[in-house]
Chain A
Amino acid sequence: MSAPDVVQDQQPQQRVKSSSAAGGPSVKANNVSKWFGDVVAVSQVSFVVGPGVTALLGPNGSGKTTLLKMLTGLTGPSTGTVTINDQVVRLSTDIYRLIGMVPEQETIYPFLTGYEFLRLNAVMQHSHDIDGDVIRALDQVEMRDAADRRIGEYSKGMRQRIKMAAALVHDPPFLFMDEPLSGLDPRQRVRAIELIRQLGDQGRVVIVSSHLLHEVQRFAEQVLVIVNGHLAASGSFRAIRDKIDEHARQILIVCSAPRRLGASLLETDQAISVRLDHSRQGGLIVESNDVRQLYLSIPKLARTLDVTLYEIRSLDDSLASVFSYVTEAVR
């Protein structure tokens, strides 16, 4: 993905403007839809993804996992095609030499040791140096010490890491990860994010699904935003953040003198409107389209007015709200 566009036009086929370098590795979804009975899970999604880390971002139930399954051929699209390096994925066996997948589900064969599980994956990938590949993958996720333990005894975080190792055992140029940070403790999360970034920097095409915006911005430069099965926006993470920042957002301030602070805020450029929050003592709700500046102004004003601040927080910084900003065209 080269062009950092946020695209929300009404032509699904043209939604994604970014593309990989000519001849480079790429994943293409061309007008892909998937429905289960009357339920439309994914609707007319088109994009091209090239090397680097691309996040598939969307709230729970938005169609991310279904889309990821179509990209890997686990599920066939109802209409449209998915290709990897211009080869149709579904029902192609050879393509799986190029693909590593970290599925969302936690279940792995509990009776195998971590080593045996990776060995199984290496054998099925026709690895020429099975033991070497297994050791390399174990080291990549720092699981060598636990390799001889049965997977049934692993913690959730360890299972997540051994799944990542299994996807990496044949050193694939394409990686698909469904919520790979789920279940990891903070330290493991930092390491996993580092690993994902490294994999992208090495020129692989890495597509990672997540519903956590703050998580995504730590590893992905490019984002595909999926909402209600539609591709709502795509492009660089920064462009999407800017798009979000253009919209008015609500900030809750709890302070000792909400009327005085509210009146002063209205005199600044950052506040569009203010109103008292009667549900809590000292509550004030400020609407702003320049939240960053507002956050800087509030403490200064409070000090000047001798107002004590107890709490400042965004009321609509949840992912669902963020999506609502970038998806107006879809809705």
Chain B
Amino acid sequence: MTGDRLPIFWLTARQFLDGRSIRVVALLAAVPVLLGIIEIIATGSDLQIRNMLGQSFNELTIPTLLPLIALILSSSALGNEISDRTLPYLVLKPWSRFKVICEKFGATVATGAIITVTFGFVVWLMLGAISSDLDGDLLLAIIVASALAIAAYSAAFTLLSLLLTRVLMAGLLYVLIWESLLARFIPGLRLLSIRHYAQSVYAHIIGDGSINIAQQSAMSTSLIVLAIVMLICLVLSWLRLQQMDLD
């Protein structure tokens, strides 16, 4: 049986499919599709379409939509399990709590990435049908940056869901105030945001200079920082889960 190797991963994936959160996530991921349709209706030149898609992913999807998607999924994966008191069914087992965290995180990232990449691909196909300028690099950049951003944001929100009871509220404040506002416009804070490194990766993969990121970090730096953020958040989540008193 598929669930026998990664039981918590599959349990969490089924939790997502059964719950409301997946529908909200799909709606958020569909926003770029909606924008794409608007662009087709009001289309100008091929160049405008490519710019529109590239800029909307950089300005809207990475700093706002992806963290919101990660927040909704992460809070469902662990936060709901704490609040409805089903977590003891998983931790009262000969199963390391780090494994519990990793499988929950893995299911969150896989679900979030599949949905966002699928919708990103749909937008690319839609706009590609009327534009000869859309290339594989743009699609690759969308896929890689989406997956990395979802993973880093999910790790941060997994930790947050173990630290706070009102994780959605705290996460929204983080997304809207920190990622979308402060870290965007205050130069010093850029280097402390997940958004900045995800955008840097995105701009590097496109590679034609059409996406300008202030204080753009090197590709290797961006990848290392995102990996470190994930690792630190997952280790802290594990330590927190070890120390928590569970109902």
- Using a CB–CB cutoff of 8 Å, the interface residues on chain A facing chain B are 69, 72-76, 91, 93-97, 99, 101, 103, 105, 107-112, 119-121, 123-126, 130, 166
**Distance of A110 Cα from B95 Cα, bound (Å):** 22
**Complex: how many Å from CA A120 to CA B100?**
13
Cβ-closest 4 pairs across A and B: A111-B18, A124-B93, A75-B245, A105-B85
State whether the Cβ of B242 lies closer than 8 Å to any Cβ in chain A: yes
**Which residues on B are within 8 Å of A, measured CB to CB?**
1, 3-4, 7-8, 11, 14-15, 17-18, 84-86, 88-97, 242-243, 245-247
Given A123-B3, A123-B4, A123-B7, the answer on whether A109 and B93 have CB atoms closer than 8 Å is no
Q: Which of B1, B8, B84, B243 is A107 in contact with, Cβ under 8 Å?
A: B84
Considering the complex, give the chain B residue whose CB is closest to the CB of A96: B94
**Docked CA distance A108–B85 (Å):** 9
Compute how far the CA of A119 lies from the CA of B10 in the bound complex, rounded to whole angstroms: 13
Q: Which residue of A lies closest to B6 (CB)?
A: A123
A125 CA / B93 CA spacing, docked (Å): 6
In the assembled complex, how far is the CB of residue B128 from the closest CB belonging to chain A, in whole angstroms? 37
Q: Roughly how many angstroms separate A1 CA and B7 CA in the complex, as a whole number?
A: 38
Contacts of A166 in B (CB 8 A): 89
A125-B94 in contact (CB<8A): yes
Q: Are B246 and A107 within 8 A (Cβ)?
A: no
* A74 adjacent to B88 (CB under 8 Å): yes
Bound-state CA distance A143–B85 (Å) is 23
Check if A124 sits within 8 Å of B88, measured CB to CB.
Answer: no
Chain A residue nearest to B246 in the complex (CB): A74
C-alpha spacing A232/B91, complex, angstroms:
31
Q: Which of A76, A99, A107, A124 contacts B7 (CB 8 A)?
A: A124
- Give me 7 other A-B pairs in contact (C-beta within 8 A), A103-B85, A107-B86 excluded: A75-B245, A105-B85, A105-B86, A119-B3, A123-B7, A124-B90, A166-B89
Residues of A within 8 A of B90 (CB): 124
